[in-house]
Amino acid sequence: MGQPVASKGRGATPTVGKAMLNKYARAFFTRVLTPFAAFLIRRGVSPDTVTLIGTAGVVAGALVFYPMGEFFWGTVVITLFVFSDLVDGNMARQLGRSSRWGAFLDSTLDRVADGAIFGGLALWYAGIGDDNILCAVSIFCLASGQVVSYTKARGEAIGLPVAVNGLVERAERLVISLVAAGFAGLHKFGVPGIQYLLPIALWIVAVGSLVTLVQRVVTVRREAAEADAAAQESQGTEAAK
């Protein structure tokens, strides 16, 4: 997920709020996970190994438990392994190994994990869940999440800042979906009506992802136009000399 970008005017409050939440949440988990990260380092475990194991755990939790309707236990497994995303970064900082390869691997495997989560939900609704509409919504969440990430990566690859803080980015997609799935799984423990949280959450993520995609496309279009205009102006000035 991209770093929040400060903005001016009335729209600044949500952005600043998200930045502060991200800052304090990361600070808390850094303090909690630093001893565990140090322990793994002493045992000779590399950050890349933690990244791979974490992704494998998320994929297994999503594709084994979710298609069977075991949303509570699936979410427990996924949540435990999701924390590897913080552990590997903590290990890299302790080792002083901030590498392009590590960043690439982490970002790539994040997409794999996200695809597994929504793919597992789609498999449930395509099978035992027997709901083609929610299956389609789950697939849309999967695809739109990948495209939202791609738009930022592609925009940055062509030299644009993509200075936009989307409505529903990766962290929001995961939190909304996993919290809803976990609570929906309590239906098997006798909690009535709570299973409807998951469909509601999927619709929220789908709509939010679409809005975020539009935000990023509009931002890239504006930044590209500004960059092209600046380049033409620079060329005109050089030609006039």
Does the annotation place 50 within a ligand binding site? Answer: yes
Does the annotation place 89 within a ligand binding site? Answer: yes
Cα-based torsion angle of the residue sequence 95, 98, 101, 105 in order, rounded to the nearest 10 degrees = 80
Does the annotation place 51 within a ligand binding site? Answer: yes
Say which DSSP state 220 is in. Answer: H
Does the annotation place 49 within a ligand binding site? Answer: yes
Catalytic hit among 110, 114, 130, 131 = 110
Between CA 141 and CA 143, with CA 142 as vertex, the angle to 5 degrees is 95
Residue tagged 């600043």 (tokens): 16
Does the annotation place 228 within a ligand binding site? Answer: no
Does the annotation place 130 within a ligand binding site? Answer: no
| Residues in Cβ contact with 124 at an 8 Å cutoff, skipping those fewer than 6 apart | 66, 67, 68, 69
Does the annotation place 131 within a ligand binding site? Answer: no
User: Can you read off the two tokens belonging to residue 107?
Assistant: 């970002």
110 noted as active-site residue: yes
User: Can you read off the two tokens belonging to residue 130?
Assistant: 């027997």
User: Can you read off the two tokens belonging to residue 56?
Assistant: 């494998």
User: Can you read off the two tokens belonging to residue 207?
Assistant: 């709509």
Question: Any long-range contacts for 91-97 (C-beta under 8 Å, 24+ apart)?
Answer: 91/37, 91/40, 91/41, 91/45, 91/46, 91/47, 91/50, 92/47, 94/34, 94/37, 94/38, 94/41, 95/41, 95/47, 97/47
Does the annotation place 85 within a ligand binding site? Answer: yes
Does the annotation place 48 within a ligand binding site? Answer: yes
Q: Which residues are catalytic, by number?
A: 110
Annotated binding site for Mg(2+): 85, 88, 106, 110
- Binding residues are 48-51, 85, 88-89, 93, 99, 106, 110
- Which residues are annotated as part of the binding site for a CDP-1,2-diacyl-sn-glycerol? 48-51, 89, 93, 99
